[in-house]
Amino acid sequence: MNRIPVVAVSIGMATGIYAVSFGALGVTAGLSILETMLLSLLMFSGASQFAFVGVVATGGMAAIPTAIASAWLLGVRNGFYALRMAPVLGMPGVTKLLSAQLTIDESTAVATSQATQSDERRGFWWTGISVFVFWNLTTLAGAVLGDRIGDPANYGLDSAAAAAFLGLVWPRLSSSKFKLIGLAAFIAALATTSIVPAGIPVLLGALVAALIQYWGKK
């Protein structure tokens, strides 16, 4: 039995849980419920959304340019995902906008873990739509309830999305080479987290992984 729908919905639920805190943070930072929801509906990139709202919370509306720059920096990785997924999805014309909106960590991870192109497409759409639906529903819940729900981190919910993503990546580390690449990327990202702006550690980890892969082919 093909388990793509089950996996996709499970990931959507796990990822969506943490959007409760984004909704609460958005209204606490001074955004309206509508503005908070528009960030989830249109930006739809968790790390970028948290970066944007975090900057606004500390600097107010005067910090909007900085908030946009921070959100963009964290969203750069999605462009690389698009390069990988575009040939698989084959979306024509303006319909590419739909697939672009759903090109996130989770949808790409599920898609690239499949054995056939057909399953890659199914994994992408199932996961992208599942995450989108749950993320926006729980954003609304968090925005309406505000700080009355407390911090999801107190319940360990902040680790749900990361755990789901790790569960997707781990089976792909099937050789010593891939394990080395993963470890090197992790060390690079972890070592630079406290000394460079948000978003840069992820890009540095990706760069390290790409360089090792490149040199390994020479």
The pLDDT value recorded for residue 34 is 94
**44: nearest Cα among 108, 102, 109, 107:** 102
Spell out the domain ranges in the chain. Answer: 4-168, 173-218
The pLDDT value recorded for residue 67 is 78
Instruction: Please compute, for residue 208, the number of CA atoms within 13 A of its CA located in the half-sphere on the CB side.
Output: 20
SS3 assignment, position 168: helix
Please give the model's pTM, rounded to 2 decimal places: 0.73
Sign of CA dihedral 181, 204, 87, 97: positive
- Angstrom distance (rounded) from CA 201 to CA 185: 9
The pLDDT value recorded for residue 89 is 94
Cβ 112 vs Cβ 120: under 8 Å: yes
The pLDDT value recorded for residue 182 is 81
> Digits of tens for pLDDT over the chain (218 positions)?
478 999 899 999 988 888 888 888 888 888 899 999 999 999 998 888 887 887 777 776 667 787 788 788 778 888 889 999 999 999 988 899 999 999 998 999 899 989 899 999 999 999 999 999 999 999 999 999 876 665 555 655 555 555 555 655 666 676 777 788 888 888 888 888 788 765 577 677 778 887 887 776 65
The pLDDT value recorded for residue 190 is 83
The pLDDT value recorded for residue 198 is 57
The pLDDT value recorded for residue 71 is 82
The pLDDT value recorded for residue 181 is 83
Cβ 12 vs Cβ 21: under 8 Å: no
The pLDDT value recorded for residue 157 is 52
